[in-house]
Every structure is written in C-alpha cells, then in structure tokens.
Chains A and B, each alone.
Chain A
Amino acid sequence: MTKVLVVDDSNSIRDMVSFTLKSAGYETVEAKDGQDGLSKAQASNFDLVISDVNMPNMDGISLCTELRKLPDFKFTPILMLTTESSTDMKMRGKSAGATGWLVKPFNPEKLLATIKRVVK
C-alpha cells in the first residue's frame, strides 16, 4: 500500500487531505509541522510526502531540504500544498528539492491525479 506523509499545521487541512487519500486507498501518517514531519520521516519509510509551506517550528521548505539529505528520501516525491502562489516561493521550493507545487484550495480529483503521476 502506498504510504503518504501529510504535513500541515492546520487540523482542518490535514483532515481533508488524509480523508481524500484514504478514500483513494492510500495509507497516511499525519505530522503537525516540519519538525514533526522530519522525525516521522526518520522513523519510517514513505512513498510520498505532501507538505504545507508556512508552519511553526520548521517550515515546509526547510523540511524539504532536510528530507533530501536523508538517503531514504533522496528520490521520494515531495509535493508542496500551500496558499503561497508567488513564483519566488515556488522557486525556493524547487531549489529545496520539491517535486511539485500545488496551490490551495486543492481539488481532490486533481490532487489524486497529480499523486498518480509522481508516485511510481
């Protein structure tokens, strides 16, 4: 089963994203910020990471940078799901090693279609 790490500081968003993924047959683990996400990533393997950008303790861009340093996450797809739509932020995400950038509000079907494209 495809295992997804969902990182977002908003309870509502974590809930909606997890719900969407579970309905489509994915297994999800939730983390409440970048720091929490990083420790959960270190403790287990994932096929995909979906992360918010603005979060307390550790933001999504830093999480992305940290994950790329871990051997197990070198090639794992990382999708940023965020309210940030500026080119500048997108470029920061890209250079941190993100696989894709999704601007909220997310469409459940499009999210699932995007996941199918990036998860091998």
Chain B
Amino acid sequence: MLKNNHPQVSEYMAQCLPEFMQINHYWDKQRNMVVAKILPGEFYMTTENVAIATTLGSCISACIWDDRSRIGGMNHFMLPVTNKEAHEVNWGKKDKTSDATRYGNFAMEHLINTILRSGGRKLNLRAKLFGGAKVLDQLSDVGQKNINFALAYLDQEEIVIESSDLGDIYPRKVIFEPCSGRVFIKRLDNLHNDTIIRRESDYRNQINQKEISGDIELF
C-alpha cells in the first residue's frame, strides 16, 4: 500500500521544501495523490496538491490553511507535562510563560509562520482541530489540557475554527487536504492501537527531558 518509490512521489520530492524532506511521503492510490505522514512533534506545510496524514491519541493536530491561496499545513503535538520553571521562578501570574505554554505556542506558531512565509495571509487563515482523546485511563487528562490550550491559542490569534473533533476516548486517523481545506477523519478502535500510545509516550518523554528553548546568537 505504501509506495515511496512511486514516480509521482519522486516527482513531488524534487519540489518539496527542504525542511520536510525527511517526512515520510507515500502515494495514495485511492486519493490519487501524494500523502505526507507526520509523527508526534512533527509538522508539515505544502503549497501543492498534497495531503497530510497522522494518527492522534491524546495529541492535538491543528490543520491550518489559507482559504484563498489554498496552501496550508498540519502539526501534531502535545504540551509537556512538567513545568520545570514554575517552582524556580515567581512569574506572578501562573502558566503564562510556563514550559507547556511556550512549547504549545511554538508548535502553533512554527506552522503558521511557515504558511505566511510561503505566501499565506493571516486574515485568510482557517483552522480545523482534532485529537485530545483520553486514550489512557489516567488521573490527569492530558488530552483535555491539549484541547484547552489549542482552543485558547486560536482564539487569541483570532483564527476561526471551522470544525473540530475533540476529546472522547478514541484515537483518530486524520487526513487533511490543504488545497481544499477538507479533512477526512476516522475514529479508531481504542483496543488495537498501542502503537499510537507508545509513540505518544516516547514523544512525551522526549519533550519532558529536552530543554524548551532555541539558540541564542549575538552578532
């Protein structure tokens, strides 16, 4: 089913943005188009007729596109659970610059900036939001935290959410076509998807250990 060496995929890869070269691309025979498949912590943006697919547990994917110029992308992220700095620094108002908020902001902004850099306009941006399921019977509902963050972020950035499928207990498979804004969604059977849960917990461990900040260079 997954054919990376399909001629159409090779043809598209020649014009794929360099930062997305390492993403897994395959030819979807039914859709008759190239699909880029993203994993937790990744994002993808395209100006071409390419679809973006991912599978979500408690993570969130925001599909964001410019409905005039028909370019857009999708991210796949969750907020880190720890709040390393909260006990060290008194920020006054809690959470505003916490690791979690900064990480989430970054995941959203990186996608949005890539769209704007490729010719999208902020006023034309639309969003669809998916994921945030309670896939594990945990005490803290990480899915819900991710949902709350994404809703608040899009509200603050004044980006209209056209549709969403959030929460509940089911993992979801999402396929987004940025050039039309269409999303195909399939709720998956919770019991047969420990791959999703395993990938998400690997990703969670990774973001909880990694310091959340970029490089600083003084000229």
Contact = CB atoms under 8 A, between A and B. Distances in A.
Do A and B associate with each other? yes
Interface of A: 9-13, 15-16, 19-20, 23, 54, 56, 83-85, 90, 93-94, 98-110, 114, 117-118
Nearest to B212: A105
Interface in B58-94: 85, 89, 91-93
Interface residues of B, number: 35
B117 interface: yes
A16 B121 contact: no
Nearest to B217: A101
Contacts, number: 96
A12 B157 contact: yes
B30 interface: no
The 4 closest A-B pairs by CB, nearest first: A103-B214, A107-B213, A105-B106, A100-B218
Given A108-B85, A108-B89, A114-B218, A16 B117 contact: no
A24 to B, nearest CB: 10
Contact of A106 (B102, B117, B156, B217): B102
Interface string B192-219: 0000000000000000000111111111
A54 B117 contact: yes
A16 B218 contact: no
A41 to B, nearest CB: 20
Contacts of A12: 105, 108-109, 153, 156-157
Which of A11, A19, A105, A106 has the most chain B CB atoms inside 10 A of its CB? A105
Contact of A13 (B103, B109, B117): B109
B62 to A, nearest CB: 13
B97 A54 contact: no
